[in-house]
Homo-oligomer: A and B are copies of this chain.
Amino acid sequence: MSAIGIRGTFFDFVDDPWKHVGKEHEAARFHADGLLVVEDGKITDFGAYDAVAKRHQGLSVTHITDRIVVPGFIDGHIHFPQTRVLGAFGQQLLPWLQNWVFPEEMKYADRAYAKDGAKRFFDNLLACGTTTCQAFTSSSPVSTEELFDEAARRNMLTIAGLTGIDRHAPEKFLNTPEQFYAESKRLIERYHGKGRNLYAITPRFAFGSSPALMEACERLKREYPDCWVNTHVSENPAEVRGVLAEHGDCADYLGIYEKYKLVGPKFSGGHGVWLSDDEFRRLSRTGGAITFCPCSNLFLGSGLFRLGRATDPKARVKLTWGTDMGGGNRFSMIAVLDEAYKVGMCNNTMLDGSIDPARQDLAESERNKVSPYRGFWSVTLGGAEGLYIDDKVGNFTPGKAADFVALDWTAGPPGTEWHQSLVVGDGGPKDMEQAANLLFGIMMVGDERAVDETWVMGKRLYKKA
Which of A47-55, A167-175, A339-347 lies at the interface with chain B?
A: A339-347
What's the number of copies of this chain in the assembled complex?
A: 2
Contact (Cβ within 8 A) B414 A299: no
Contact (Cβ within 8 A) A414 B128: yes
Contact (Cβ within 8 A) A346 B440: no
Asked if A286 is at the interface (CB within 8 A of a chain B CB), the reply is no
- Name the B residues within 8 Å of A380 (CB-CB): none
Asked if A391 is at the interface (CB within 8 A of a chain B CB), the reply is no
Contact (Cβ within 8 A) A414 B303: no
Contact (Cβ within 8 A) A85 B422: yes
**Knowing A89-B440, A298-B346, A301-B348 touch, does A415 contact B237 (C-beta < 8 A)?**
no
Q: Report which of B92, B238, B335, B342 forms a contact with A299, defined as CB distance below 8 A.
A: B342
- Name the B residues within 8 Å of A413 (CB-CB): 128, 330-332, 335, 447-448
A329 to B334, CA, bound (A): 14
A 212-247 to B, binary, CB cutoff 8 A, 1 in contact else 0: 000000000000000000000000111001000000
Asked if A57 is at the interface (CB within 8 A of a chain B CB), the reply is no
Contact (Cβ within 8 A) A418 B299: no
**Knowing A345-B300, A349-B302, A414-B128 touch, does A369 contact B84 (C-beta < 8 A)?**
no
Contact (Cβ within 8 A) A89 B329: no
A 289-320 to B, binary, CB cutoff 8 A, 1 in contact else 0: 00000000011111110000000000000000
Asked if A441 is at the interface (CB within 8 A of a chain B CB), the reply is yes
**A interface residues (Cβ-Cβ under 8 A, vs B):** 83-87, 89-90, 92, 120, 123-124, 127-128, 236-238, 241, 298-304, 329-332, 335, 338-339, 341-349, 352, 354-355, 369, 371-372, 413-415, 418-419, 421-422, 437, 440-441, 443-445, 447-448
24 CB-based A-B contacts, threshold 8 Å: A84-B422, A85-B422, A87-B419, A87-B441, A87-B443, A89-B371, A89-B444, A90-B371, A120-B418, A123-B414, A128-B413, A236-B349, A236-B354, A237-B349, A298-B343, A298-B346, A299-B341, A299-B342, A301-B347, A330-B413, A331-B413, A332-B413, A335-B413, A413-B448
Known contacts A128-B413, A300-B345, A330-B413; 8 additional CB pairs below 8 A are A84-B419, A86-B415, A89-B437, A92-B349, A127-B414, A237-B355, A298-B346, A304-B346
